Every structure is written in structure tokens, then in C-alpha cells.
Amino acid sequence: MGSDQALQMLADVLWNALIISGPLLAVTLAVGLLMSVMQVITQIQETSLTFIPKIIAAVLVLVVCGAWMLKRLVAFSVNLIGAIPGYF
């Protein structure tokens, strides 16, 4: 395996990790930001107030996008494992 193949494989891994985790991270970031703004406006400084909505949002995103995330991960893994003989 050459260094160009290894770098391409690393780039593919990082790109797929970003695409798969993107929706979950974006939604939890948006909910966390919204809850922080609400805490500043209402001056309620309760720590559990930020965690519970983020957990609920993360579960909802996983319910909605979980099948797509799993399909993408399985397809990438199958392609990667199938290409192992070509690396040597």
C-alpha cells in the first residue's frame, strides 16, 4: 500500500465520519445554543436545563436519521473491507 492510498483512505474515513455525525452534532449544538440563550434571558442557571433538551433532541435525530447513518456506515465498511486484497 502506497502513501497515496493510505492518505485517500484516511480522507474517506474522516469525510464519512463528518457526514454521519453532522446532523446529530448540528442539532445538539443548535438546541444547546437555544437553551443557553433562554437561560440568559430568564436568568435561570440550572445545569439540567441544558442537558435534558439536548438528550431529547439527540434521540429524535437518531430515530429520524439512524437508519440512514447505519446504511452509510455499512456501505463504507463493506467497500473498505472488500478493497483489502487490492492493498497488497
Task: Check residue 77 and give its pLDDT.
Answer: 94
What is the C-alpha to C-alpha distance for residues 63 and 65, in angstroms, rounded to an integer?
6
Q: What is the pTM of this model?
A: 0.80
Give yes or no for residue 12 having a pLDDT over 80.
yes
Matching residue, cell 435534558: 52
The residue type at 26: A
- Asked if residue 22 lies in contact with residue 8, where contact means CB atoms within 8 angstroms, the answer is no
User: Three cell numbers at 50?
Assistant: 441544558
Q: Report the Cα–Cα distance between both ends of the chain, in Å, rounded.
A: 6
Q: pLDDT tens digits, residue range 13-67? A: 999 999 999 999 999 999 999 999 999 898 888 878 889 999 999 999 999 999 9
Torsion angle of C-alpha atoms 47, 50, 52, 54, degrees rounded to 10: -150
